[in-house]
Amino acid sequence: MTGDGIFFVLVGPSGAGKNTLIERVREFTPDMTQVPTMTTRGRRGNEQEGREHRFVTRERFQQAIDNGELVEWQRVHNDDLYGTPRDVVETAVALGTDLIADIEFLGAEKLREAFPQHTVLAFVTPSDLRILADRIMQRGDITPEELAGRLNRARFEMTFAPECKYLVINDTREAAAEALRGIVATERSQRHNQAIDPAERVPAHRIDATCTAVIQRGDDLLLRDGKLPQFRLNPHGARFDLAARDHLESLLGTPLEVIGPQDDRFDYPAPSYVTVTGAAPHFSLNYYYRFIFPAGDQSTPLGWEWAPLSSVQLPDMLSELVTS
Ligand code: 5GP
């Protein structure tokens, strides 16, 4: 595709604050257009038809799929469908207009495949799943089942972070907006030859993924050197916990069952908990995966030790899962 428009795609769990960030970006970049994605969900509060979304019926959405009007589409929450209109992206890219959108990660991946030269993925997340849970609850109007569903979805979504070019930690709105401003300025200076203060230039981020293995047998956890075992995942490893399991099984010499949120769209369970540390351009994501040691195997692998659950410090949300 010709043209030099940039398509900034913000990815990240629900509650990460992507929409507020889009509003802020558009304040300092008025010539950037928000992509109105097509959706079957109803219009909310102060949303405008054609700004955040094109609100359509299921029949119209199906027609758009059949006619190839959407670059990608997904079922997101509550069975509502969302899709990116091809005409908006192709026209903007060709005209050199920059776009921004909030797209869930399966769709974002397809956009990058469809427009590899134009799509810039930035992952937006708070530094801790706990902050996300608190924010979703503060929005109110949410049942415990909906909250659980969103958090499970977030756990899957977080595994996509290492595959994005940038990571924006959104614990405070101002810092996140500032980080995104630097990213936008950097990409624009490269693509459109716009002048940029060298101090503002942001290199592509390095996002390392670590697995912390919570290996449980009844009321005990398996430790090495007094700590939960940790190892680096390969760059795309956060989504392939089975590789993590294979690694652990070979270390321990015993089969392990990995448990975590399941979703029929994914053939692997999600991590149970995720934290983000570091600062641009180098971040570390820590994925806590839960494993069950065979109950009938009373052995202690050489170099490891069993410790009672109550003696091991775990993040609250994880502790609740492990002890329930
Ligand atoms: P909301 O209903 O809050 O506007 O959007 C729900 C979620 O749908 C957002 O978190 C966003 O990531 C996702 N979404 C919005 N538009 C699209 C789209 O066109 N394609 C995909 N795959 N996801 C979308």
Mutate which of 18, 38, 99, 102 for ligand 1? The one with the most ligand atoms within 8 Å of its CB, which is: 102
Atom 15 (ligand 1): residue with closest C-alpha? Answer: 103
For a substitution probing ligand 1, which of 40, 46, 72, 76 has the most ligand atoms within 8 Å of its CB? 76
Nearest CA to ligand 1 atom 14: 103
Residue 105 alpha carbon to ligand 1 centre in Å: 9
52 alpha carbon to ligand 1 midpoint, in Å? 10
Instruction: Say if 247 falls within a structural domain.
Output: yes
> Residue 95's domain is classified under what CATH number?
3.40.50.300
**d(CA 194, ligand 1 centre) in Å:** 30
Instruction: For residue 1, tell me if it sits in a domain.
Output: no
137 in the same domain as 37: yes
113 shares a domain with 135: yes
How far apart (Å, rounded) are the C-alpha atoms in residues 224 and 305?
6
287 CA from centroid of ligand 1 (Å): 24
The number of C-alpha atoms within 13 Å of 320 and in the hemisphere containing its C-beta is 5
Ligand 1 mutation target, pool 89, 104, 112, most atoms within 8 A of CB: 104
Q: Nearest residue CA, atom 20 of ligand 1?
A: 83
Which residue range forms the structural domain that includes residue 130? 7-197
Q: How far does the centroid of ligand 1 lie from the alpha carbon of residue 74, in Å?
A: 8
CA of 235 to the centre of ligand 1 (A): 25
Same domain, 146 and 249: no
Asked whether residue 40 falls in the same domain as residue 189, the answer is yes
Distances (CA, A) of 102 to 14, 156, 234, 244, 259: 10, 16, 27, 30, 30
Whole-number Å distance, alpha carbon 175 to ligand 1 midpoint, is 24
Q: What is the CATH number of the domain that holds 226?
A: 3.90.79.10
Question: How many whole angstroms separate alpha carbon 279 and alpha carbon 127?
Answer: 11
In the chain, what are the helix, strand and coil shares in percent, each to the nearest 5?
Answer: 35, 30, 35
Nearest atom of ligand 1 to the alpha carbon of 11: 12
Ligand 1 centre distance from Cα of residue 81 (Å): 8
Answer whether residue 217 is part of any domain: yes
Which of 197, 218, 236 finishes a domain? Answer: 197
The number of angstroms, rounded, from the C-alpha of 263 to the middle of its chain's C-alpha atoms is 15
- Digit-coded pLDDT (tens) for 144-202: 888 898 899 999 999 999 999 999 999 999 999 999 999 999 999 998 888 888 888 99
Same domain, 233 and 304: yes
Question: What pLDDT score does 198 carry?
Answer: 86
Same structural domain, 114 and 224: no
Residues pairing with 74 in the sheet: 82
243 within a domain of the structure (yes/no): yes
Is 145 found in the same domain as 261?
no
One domain, residues 185 and 250:
no
* pLDDT under 50: residue ranges of the chain: none
This prediction's pTM: 0.93
The C-alpha atoms of residue 194 and residue 273 are separated, in whole angstroms, by 40
Ligand 1 atom 2 nearest Cα = 41
DSSP element (H, E) containing 78: none
Return the amino acid letter for 103.
I
Q: What is the pLDDT of residue 309?
A: 95
- Ligand 1 contacts (CB < 6 A) are 14, 37, 41, 72, 74, 76-77, 82-84, 102-104, 107
- The partner residues of 54 in beta bridges, in order of sequence, read 38
Closest C-alpha to ligand 1, atom 19: 83
Q: Prior bond to 261 cis, omega within 30? A: no
Domain count for the chain, please give it.
Answer: 2
66 plus 129 within the same structural domain: yes
Nearest CA, atom 10, ligand 1: 14
Strand 282-292 to 53-55 pairing = unpaired
Q: How far, in Å, from the CA of 206 to the mean position of ligand 1?
A: 26
Strand pairing report for 273-279 and 305-308? unpaired
Phi, psi (deg, nearest 5) at residue 120: -120, 120
CA of 245 to the centre of ligand 1 (A): 32
Crossing angle of helices 316-323 and 129-138, rounded to 10°: 90
Distance CA 128, CA 19 (A): 19
| Final residue of a structural domain among 143, 166, 197 | 197
Whole-Å CA distances, 37 to 1, 27, 47, 219: 21, 20, 13, 48
